[in-house]
Amino acid sequence: MTFSLKNYLLLSAVGATALCSCSNEDFDGLGADAEARMVEMTVTLAKGDVDDDMSGSRTTLVENGGDLTCLWEESDQVLIATADGTPAGVLTLSDGAGHATATFTGQVDANAISSASSATYVYVHYFGTEVDPETVTTTYRHDFSTQPGTLESLSDYDYFRSTVGITLAGDVLTTNYTAKLSRVTAFGRFHLNFSDGAILTPDAQVTVTGSFLHTVGNFGLKDQCTFDPPTTNTITTAIDPANGDIWLTILPASDPNTTSLTFTVTVGETTYTGTLAERQWK
């Protein structure tokens, strides 16, 4: 199962995929004297597919003839949060590495789940390969204003989430269905094409600016997330001198706002600029 990245423009280039936006909310957490009652939880997590607006969840991105193949990795973990947004435990991939659907198993706090406003569902959060979910206790905040610009780096701070229905009876917790995770950020593959044949150097830096270009994401532990109002409206990134490609995470602007991206790079004593048409990333 894959999702496509196939639109290209000149100097500028690019097409991209993307996904939803959300809004953020913190939680109060457990009281100081609350005691945990840990129970086993197993859940099957599936990526969305092309028919779902290409909202596939994944941690490994493998380029495949212009598409991205999306697979789970052996070390992947997800955070389970209660209906009120309180962390309840971390699950680790137990089966399905290298596939789009995988099983995760671990211990969660049944007392935290049962004391929430609803004990019929929990939230499942994935924060990317560079984030330890054990350290996330409240809204997770990440600044995307500096990015490596590589395909591999897209997975570093990729965030997606879902809810899963549960039944909690004493010390037995069962999940009611396979959860399909949804991404709340967008991806873009940009190809810079120089009409005068300029040769890029390995240390070349590209500045990306644009209207309503958000660079800070706040990923709440309930069903909401927000993107900070743009301040600098700038992303600084590198470019692959071998092919002129840049891979970026784009935080979608709130509807109905659109974003027009401008790319600026200096080669020798010449500065090149290219702009993409206005579009809504979602």
Residue 48 has pLDDT above 80, yes or no: no
Q: What is the pLDDT of residue 244?
A: 87
Identify the pLDDT of residue 120.
Answer: 95
User: Of the given ranges (44-48, 52-56, 143-147), which has the lowest mean pLDDT?
Assistant: 52-56
Greatest mean pLDDT range, 10-14, 51-55, 58-62: 58-62
Distance, CA of 87 to chain centre: 19
How much is the mean pLDDT over the chain?
80
Give the per-residue pLDDT at 126: 94
Choice among 42-46, 47-51, 187-191 with the minimum mean pLDDT:
47-51
The predicted structure's pLDDT at residue 56:
42
Q: What mean pLDDT is predicted for residues 101-125?
A: 95
Residue partners of 24: CB distance under 8 A and separation at least 6: 139, 218, 219, 220, 224, 225, 226
- The C-alpha angle 152, 102, 154, rounded to 5 degrees, equals 15
Q: Which residue type sits at 183?
A: R
Tokens of 113: 């789940």
Cα 15 to Cα 232: distance, rounded to the nearest angstrom:
23
Cα–Cα distance, 273 to 261 (Å, whole number): 11
pLDDT in tens, 217-249: 999 999 788 998 877 789 999 998 888 899 999
Per-residue pLDDT at 31: 42
Instruction: Return all residues near 204 (Cβ < 8 A) that are at least 6 apart.
Output: 238, 239, 241, 265, 266, 267
What distance in Å separates the CA atoms of residue 1 and residue 68, rounded to the nearest whole number? 9
pLDDT in tens, 255-265: 778 888 999 99
Q: What is the structure's pLDDT at 243?
A: 85
H or E element that contains 140: strand 140-143
170-225 residue pLDDT tens: 889 999 888 888 888 888 889 888 877 788 888 889 999 988 899 999 999 997 88
Query: What is the C-alpha separation between 104 and 130, in angstroms, rounded?
Result: 18
Torsion of CA 191, 6, 71, 77, to 10 degrees: 60
Q: Is the pLDDT of residue 159 over 80?
A: yes
Higher-confidence residue of 135 and 200: namely 135
Half-sphere exposure of 249 (CA within 13 A, CB side): 27
Residues 6+ apart with CB under 8 A from 169: none
Q: How confident is the model at residue 34 (pLDDT cuts 50, 70, 90)?
A: low
Check residue 59 and give its pLDDT: 46
Strands 179-183 and 38-47: parallel
Strand 87-95, strand 38-47: pairing = unpaired
Outline where 98-172 has alpha helix (H). Answer: 110-114
Tokens 């009876």 correspond to 169
